[in-house]
């Protein structure tokens, strides 16, 4: 991959803006406002009340549009507007020579995601995708434990109650896309077979417009079997990852951040177990640190645009429902055609 032409290493503070300061973007802004060597240059959101709430809390300019933010002069932005706007916002920033971090999923369609990749590559700018789960210290401990192992299977559970904020995005795009990315990252391979089972169990009561249960099975090019169990029916949140390798069985709880490995399997069925050491870093802080570092050093970011498109393509394939379904639909009406409802502002203040 080419080195970034527009690296920033002048010793001055990097000016970073946030586009879209709802639930996720407000957290981006909070973290960036505390970064050494970074100046939070402003937040842009057409919801004036929300922009002023976040800008006022963090002491940075609150702007109504992306153009006003770009006119103030920024080196980089993070984009946490609704997914169907990612492409246009990213292209507008890239056209002004601004590095971009785009929240997951990269865009509504594979074609839109590819437009962002092409534009960033042509401009020699850093493009990173916000697959924040890769920066969860428990996920990193699992990745480290299986790094030189021969992986056989991966089982991921990501379940919880129906989030009141959700509009017409289902569990595949909202939740499973995180785990599709993890499967590709853990295996350093790509998913070549998909067997999805989806259901809208609560749809009849009009709570969920899209699938709220998904049982997804995959095979990677490297031969690993993987499955994701995700739903909005479980009354409590659970996020677990189990990885079987030839020599180990690794179990991680992404919420409690406890990671255990079983090893030393004996013919009599006995084995040893140990807890692995897991860090305490806030995943979003680690993600944004990696974004800033990639810009400063002109190195490829840890989650590339291509990674973002790969996980979106598999998620769309799951939604299309057939193993042989095309990965590029003509449209993706299931992705945020209706903006999500305003979240509790307190969630930001207390996060």
Ligand X SMILES: NC(=O)c1ccc[n+]([C@@H]2O[C@H](COP(=O)([O-])OP(=O)(O)OC[C@H]3O[C@@H](n4cnc5c(N)ncnc54)[C@H](O)[C@@H]3O)[C@@H](O)[C@H]2O)c1
Distant-in-sequence, close-in-space partners of 257: CB < 8 Å, separation ≥ 6: 136, 137, 138, 278, 280
Q: Residues 130, 160, 252, 302: which binds ligand X (CB under 6 A)?
A: 130
Spatial distance between the Cα atoms of 304 and 45, rounded to a whole number of angstroms: 25
**250 binds ligand X, rule: CB under 6 A:** no
**82 binds ligand X, rule: CB under 6 A:** yes
Nearer residue to ligand X within complex by CB, 8 or 119: 119
CB-hemisphere CA count at 13 Å for 154? 32
**44 binds ligand X, rule: CB under 6 A:** yes
**20 binds ligand X, rule: CB under 6 A:** yes
Tell which residue, 146, 144, 156, has the closest CA to residue 182.
156
**312 binds ligand X, rule: CB under 6 A:** no
Least Cβ distance, residue 210 to ligand X (angstroms)? 14
CA angle 156, 161, 165 (to 5 degrees): 110
**321 binds ligand X, rule: CB under 6 A:** no
Kindly calculate the radius of gyration of the chain based on its CA atoms and give it in whole angstroms.
20
Least Cβ distance, residue 4 to ligand X (angstroms)? 23
**19 binds ligand X, rule: CB under 6 A:** yes
Q: Residues 103, 112, 114, 261: which binds ligand X (CB under 6 A)?
A: 103
Tell which residue, 313, 310, 292, 316, has the closest CA to residue 302.
292
**85 binds ligand X, rule: CB under 6 A:** yes
Which alpha helices (H) appear in the chain, and where do they start and end? 23-33, 48-58, 66-71, 86-95, 110-123, 137-145, 171, 177-187, 283-297, 305-320, 345-350
Show contacts with ligand X in window 160-189 (CB under 6 A): none
Least Cβ distance, residue 72 to ligand X (angstroms)? 15
Nearer residue to ligand X within complex by CB, 17 or 196: 17
Residues that bind ligand X (CB under 6 A): 19-25, 44-47, 50, 66, 80-83, 85, 103-104, 130, 132, 340, 343
């Amino acid at each position: 991959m080419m080195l970034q032409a527009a690296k920033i290493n002048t010793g001055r503070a990097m000016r970073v803006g946030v586009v879209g300061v709802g639930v996720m973007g407000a957290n981006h802004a909070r973290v960036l406002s505390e970064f050494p060597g970074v100046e939070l240059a402003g937040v842009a959101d057409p919801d004036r009340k929300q922009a002023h709430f976040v800008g006022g809390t963090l002491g940075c300019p609150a702007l109504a549009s992306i153009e006003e933010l770009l006119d103030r002069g920024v080196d980089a932005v993070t984009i946490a507007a609704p997914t169907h706007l990612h492409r246009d916002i990213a292209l507008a920033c890239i056209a002004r020579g601004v590095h971009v971090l785009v929240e997951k999923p990269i865009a509504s369609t594979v074609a839109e995601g590819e437009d962002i990749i092409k534009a960033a590559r042509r401009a020699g700018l850093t493009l990173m995708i916000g697959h924040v789960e890769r920066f969860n210290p428990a996920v990193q401990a699992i990745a480290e434990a299986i790094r030189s192992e021969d992986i056989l299977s991966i089982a991921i559970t990501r379940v919880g109650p129906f989030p009141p904020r959700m509009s017409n995005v289902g569990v595949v795009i909202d939740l499973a896309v995180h785990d599709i990315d993890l499967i590709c990252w853990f295996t350093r391979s790509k998913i070549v077979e998909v067997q999805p089972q989806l259901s809208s169990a609560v749809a009849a009561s009009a709570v969920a417009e899209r699938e709220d249960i998904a049982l997804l099975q995959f095979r990677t090019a490297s031969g690993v079997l993987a499955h994701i169990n995700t739903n909005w029916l479980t009354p409590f949140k659970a996020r677990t990852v189990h990885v079987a390798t030839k020599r180990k069985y690794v179990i991680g709880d992404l919420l409690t951040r406890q990671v255990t490995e079983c090893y030393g399997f004996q013919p009599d069925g006995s084995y040893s177990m140990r807890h692995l050491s897991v860090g305490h870093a806030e995943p979003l802080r680690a993600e944004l640190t990696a974004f800033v570092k990639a810009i400063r050093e002109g190195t490829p970011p840890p989650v590339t645009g291509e990674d973002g498109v790969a996980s979106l393509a598999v998620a769309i394939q799951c939604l299309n429902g057939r193993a042989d379904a095309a990965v590029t639909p003509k449209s993706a009406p299931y992705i945020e055609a209706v903006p999500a409802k305003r979240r509790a502002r307190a969630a930001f203040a207390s996060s």
